[in-house]
Copies of this chain bind each other. A is one copy, B any other.
């Protein structure tokens, strides 16, 4: 946690302002967009001029929560009282919008990614929060504002998407209590679940099936590896994004402790995604090749042939697994 202001003070600052411009990071995910939309809706209900200033159209799967909150360059407020960067504390993640951010009379940052530090005049970064949505929820409470149904729905999207719908290890008792209160605000739970999780692109399933077909299980069943080639993507009429969930399928296989997917990029390089289930430390593997990440989720980029990349990763994973005694049982 690093901060030079409290959430209560942020709440008061927002209540005292007349115009607020909110900045999600580029390629806004459910947490960034949901947090911004929830706060924007609440601020408007409190009689303020508020908008979410986006660099690009929100991704399809979360666009249902955007309402009329989002604005692009031409329609944004000039020199607002407050500019607030949400779910992001690095200037590099709001490219093209940094001048607009700096035009605010006061600049704030609220985030749960502990990166190089806050930016702007005031910052509140709590890496223990499962989602930035949890911090925005607290700010709305500190403001004394009513939790409207659209705001509750946007915050539910924020915490659901950032926790894998309460599955990932960042989920805390607070996350569940917040979910309970958001449900009580009257959100259409079934619609949210359908939009987020029953809206799978058929191309994604086809890429998964093709990747499964080429998968190798090795290291006595504890390693799983496959590739997502340009041919597979072309065969499914798919693009890079449709191969993103292949790695989860591999990690979820019974007995597998470390999983890897080699994704061939259009420039010939190979992007490696790595996941550990229980005891593995895949950030150490990624670091050997100039990559990085967390203990259980990491990645790196290789400049070698697909065959060489496959053998290299199998060797590294086997070596890493030898250092693990038991796994999860």
Which residues of B are found within 8 Å of A169, using beta-carbon distances?
Answer: 189-190, 193
How long is the Cα–Cα vector from A189 to B176 in the complex, in angstroms? 13
Q: Does A266 reach chain B (CB closer than 8 Å)?
A: no
Given contacts A165-B165, A166-B166, A167-B165, contact A206 B200 (CB under 8 A): no
Which residues of B are found within 8 Å of A200, using beta-carbon distances?
Answer: 249, 252-254
The range of chain A's interface size is 35 or more
Number of copies of this kind of chain in the complex: 2
Which residues of B are found within 8 Å of A249, using beta-carbon distances?
Answer: 200, 205
Which residues of B are found within 8 Å of A217, using beta-carbon distances?
Answer: 202
Q: Does A89 reach chain B (CB closer than 8 Å)?
A: no
Given contacts A167-B165, A169-B190, A173-B180, contact A206 B202 (CB under 8 A): no
Residue from B191, B202, B252 within 8 A of A254 (CB atoms): B202
How long is the Cα–Cα vector from A180 to B249 in the complex, in angstroms? 28
Q: Does A74 reach chain B (CB closer than 8 Å)?
A: no
Residue of B at shortest CB range from A221?
A: B202
Per the 8 Å Cβ criterion, residues 135-185 of A in contact with B are: 165-167, 169, 171-174, 176-177, 179-181, 183-184
Given contacts A179-B166, A180-B177, A183-B176, contact A190 B253 (CB under 8 A): no
Which residues of B are found within 8 Å of A4, using beta-carbon distances?
Answer: none
Residue of B at shortest CB range from A183?
A: B173
How long is the Cα–Cα vector from A191 to B198 in the complex, in angstroms? 26
On whether the beta carbons of A190 and B254 are closer than 8 Å, the reply is no
Q: Does A328 reach chain B (CB closer than 8 Å)?
A: yes
Residues of A within 8 A of B (CB): 165-167, 169, 171-174, 176-177, 179-181, 183-184, 189-191, 193-195, 197-202, 205-206, 208-209, 212-213, 217, 249, 251-254, 277-278, 328
**Beyond A171-B183, A191-B328, A195-B328: 9 further Cβ-contacts under 8 Å?**
A166-B179, A167-B193, A173-B180, A173-B183, A176-B179, A176-B180, A198-B277, A200-B253, A206-B212
